[in-house]
Amino acid sequence: MILFLYLYNKLHFSSSYITPSQALKSFKEHQTVPPTTKRDEVTDKRVDTTTPRKVPPQACVTGRNFDKEKEWAAIIEESGRKTSQKSQERAEHVKQMMVHAWTGYKKHAWGANELAPISGNPHSGIFSGTRIGLTIVDSLDTLYTMGLFEEVQLGKMWLKENLTSHLNVSVQVSVFEFNIRFVGGLLSMFALTNECEYRDLAVLCADKLLPAFETPHGIPVAHIDLKHGLNTRFTNFGNAILSEFGTLHLEFFYLSHITGEFKYRNLVENIREKVTKANVNGLYGNHFSINTAKYMSSNLAVSLGGAGDSFYEYLFKSYLQSGKTDTHALKLYFDAMEAIIKEGLLQTSGGGLRYFGMKHTGLSHSAQRRMEHLACFIGGVIGLSAEYSKNQTATLQLAEDIATTCHESYVRAASGIGPESFEFDTSKGDAVSAGGDSGYHMRPEVVETWFFLSRVTKDRKYREWCWDFIKALDKYCKVKDGYVGLHDVYLRRTDSKGEPLKEDVQQSYFMAETLKYLYLIYKDESLLSLDSWVFNTEAHPLPVLHPFS
């Protein structure tokens, strides 16, 4: 993606379109030299970071920080004054969507992980066997961003009274999901409020994950027992998924920053070292051996969708989080994207839509003419990276082309909402689900790209696209006590009443991501400015660190 920025650089072509071969040629003109050593943030001396070290933790406030709330309320008010009346009304509409979803959760599933709005029952979600308030943790920074401070306090009180004991259960949880949602959500709330309780709970959650790293090369296992940690008798750990073990960096680095404990950042720096050392011709496969810290075969499965996506996202965002000093991360990102382009994953359909295909079955096969909703995030990342390109016009064009392709997957569906995956050059046309998953599972990636491109380009069309999506959500996904997904965005599957068949679960990430991005796109960019904040892959904002430590 970013690589495209540079890929376009040297060419100085007049057309906005660039071929993959041109991109590769241009990219090779760019050189970024990674730092060979690291500096201690206290002494500013070059040090070996393999040994855990400590610096004084960040000072914080115990209890409710009313001063921060007043400060945030003023920012929200000011950001509203800087936008049009129509945008203010739309932002308020999204805020009421959040209130509707949150109220249903409070009424029927308080403390549970998620809500089943149609039946009015709690839903355990991805953390089956637990009752650890997933929706609370995922929703708090969205509520705070909207100025719903009393609702935040209700959630905080539940977490203070229950989370520690509720985590003391013998249940296997995903290290990746627990990190991006719980560690990320709690760190975000600490960054927004500077309240000590959020930091302490984030440390509690992160420490629950530490046994996952007790493997031969420090590559974490996919799941951990919340009570007992890692089964040390189990020695054959198998493969790890790139997008899972490669999506810990932002949270663990910030955790070291606020606690003074270097052990967290050392763990993720080790992951970066191991995985980048093992790349195959610049490519990173979706599956990585925990036992050997190598790829089992050179015939890698590569994708910017599921199993790959957030690894590339975090390489670029690590650079942003560092205050643009982690040039090593930036170079790794460029190199990875160069290799992806060379493999032909960037394609153009017969209808002229540009998209990233997948090689889920290995490099020896042609890229599939299919794009996942998950991969639509990449348009936003490319757009954010355009600032660092010698040819910003071409780079932004690529970003907007991807955004347009994902938009087409929405407008070509009867519901106005895009499917989980969509194909190209089919008998039914482009950007349509032709035999794949045609459901809408409340995912945020398309809106995410529209939000970032709205901030970067100032183009109003992204706000209009979001408003069309909001109207579709209200029409097809809103129920009495919340919002739900659809089994078929083409409205071919109906219930006994002839209504579109709905999925009875309100995903916590709908409140963490989808509604946050929809709200922010109608507010002035001073609210969670991209100069000061970096969003983790669950849309939990973490601060840019100046200076990076």
Residue ranges of the binding site: 537
Q: For every residue of 48-74, which 3-state class applies, written as one string?
A: CCCCCCECCCCCCECCCCHHHHHHHHH
Q: Which two tokens stand for residue 310?
A: 């957030």
Active site (annotated) includes residue 430: no
Q: What's the residue count for the chain?
A: 549
Q: Report yes or no: 511 and 138 within 8 Å, Cβ to Cβ.
A: yes
Detail the DSSP E strand segments found in 370-493: 370-372, 421-423, 478-479, 482-483, 485-486
Neighbours of 51 (CB within 10 A): 9
- Residue numbers in the known binding site for Ca(2+) are 537
Q: Which two tokens stand for residue 225?
A: 């027992």
Q: Could you tell me which residues come within 8 angstroms of residue 57 by beta carbon, excluding any fewer than 6 positions away? A: 258, 259, 260
Q: Report yes or no: 1 and 312 within 8 Å, Cβ to Cβ.
A: yes
Q: What is the per-residue DSSP string for 478-523?
A: EETTEE-EES-TTS--B-TTSPBPEES-B-HHIIIIIHHHHHHHTS
Active site (annotated) includes residue 309: yes
- Among candidate residues 430, 445, 513, 538, the one labeled active-site is 445
CA distance 251 to 166: 22
CA distance 149 to 476: 30
As to burial, measured by CB atoms within 10 angstroms (0-12 exposed, 13-18 middle, 19+ buried), residue 70 is exposed
Active site (annotated) includes residue 343: no
Provide the CA 213 distance to its chain's centre, in angstroms: 22
Query: Which candidate, 286, 403, 269, places its Cα nearest to that of 1?
Result: 403
* C-alpha distance from residue 62 to each of 54, 148, 196 (Å): 22, 20, 5
As to burial, measured by CB atoms within 10 angstroms (0-12 exposed, 13-18 middle, 19+ buried), residue 380 is buried
User: Locate tokens 């995912």: which residue?
Assistant: 443
Active site (annotated) includes residue 420: yes
- Among candidate residues 69, 151, 261, 309, the one labeled active-site is 309
Which amino acid would we find at residue 520? L
> Residue 370 phi/psi, 5° resolution?
-145, 145
- Among candidate residues 420, 423, 513, 538, the one labeled active-site is 420
Q: For every residue of 320-355, which 3-state class applies, written as one string?
A: HHCCCCCHHHHHHHHHHHHHHHHCCCEEECCCCCEE
120: left (phi over 0), alpha (psi -120 to 50) or beta: left
Maximum Cα–Cα distance across the chain: 70
CA distance 199 to 306: 30
- Among candidate residues 138, 177, 197, 313, the one labeled active-site is 177
Residues with a catalytic annotation lie at 177, 309, 420, 445
